Amino acid sequence: MKQTLKYILSVIVDNLNYAEGKHAVGVALSSGIIIFSAANLDPFASLATIFAGLSILFCSISIGFSLLALMSRDFKIKDYGKKVITNNTNLVYFKDIARFATDNYLNALIKSYNFPKNYKPDEFEVDLAKQVLLTAKLTNFKFLFFNKSIQSLAIGIIFTVVMVVVIAMGA
């Protein structure tokens, strides 16, 4: 059981690092767009300035979501109740794991991976399972915030493109 939990934890930590990397790229891209848009603020071209301002606003929101996700290690994470195992439940996938409570997750592992029915996890395995669950919940949180961040960034990019078109048209 220990090796199974260690493997699952390593997979989730890889996903956590991937999520943090995506946030870092999003912050860099949003920052670049903000700098580009700010350089094109012109009080005499009011329409372009409006789109530049909207671009800056939405890219700033994107950065805010990413920074919240990157600081999320300090947040309290809700412990979910019992999750029913279905055929679609993947006991290695962080989104599925995030909905379990510790005892239920250990029981699901015992059942799904053919451990003896009378297998009793020791305290180290319980602690490993808690770490797996908390890391899965944290990873899930980071990916949820990445989705919100990328949506704001996409809107900011659209406003930047419109701003460039308006400037090119001379409006």
Q: Is the pLDDT of residue 45 over 80?
A: no
Rounded Cα gap, residues 112 and 67, in angstroms: 37
Please check whether residue 30 is in contact with residue 58, taking contact to mean a CB–CB distance below 8 angstroms.
no
pLDDT tens by residue, 59-105: 999 999 998 888 866 666 665 555 556 667 788 888 888 888 888 88
Please check whether residue 137 is in contact with residue 16, taking contact to mean a CB–CB distance below 8 angstroms.
no
SS3 content of the chain, % helix, strand, coil (to 5): 75, 0, 25
Report the half-sphere exposure of 116 (CA within 13 A, side-chain side). 4
Please check whether residue 40 is in contact with residue 159, taking contact to mean a CB–CB distance below 8 angstroms.
no
More confident residue, 44 or 150: 150
Rounded Cα gap, residues 45 and 121, in angstroms: 68
pLDDT tens by residue, 16-43: 999 889 999 999 999 999 999 998 887 7
Task: Report how far Cα 42 is from the mean position of its chain's Cα atoms.
Answer: 36
pLDDT tens by residue, 158-167: 999 999 898 8
What amino acid is encoded at 73 in this protein?
R
Rounded Cα gap, residues 61 and 150, in angstroms: 10
More confident residue, 171 or 38: 38
Rounded Cα gap, residues 18 and 20, in angstroms: 5
* pLDDT value of residue 147: 92
Please report the sign of the dihedral spanned by the C-alpha atoms of residue 15, residue 21, residue 22, residue 27: positive
Please check whether residue 145 is in contact with residue 73, taking contact to mean a CB–CB distance below 8 angstroms.
no
* pLDDT value of residue 166: 86
pLDDT tens by residue, 111-169: 888 888 888 888 898 889 888 998 898 898 889 999 999 999 999 999 999 998 988 88
Q: Is the pLDDT of residue 57 over 60?
A: yes
Chain-wide mean pLDDT for the chain?
A: 86
* pLDDT value of residue 99: 84
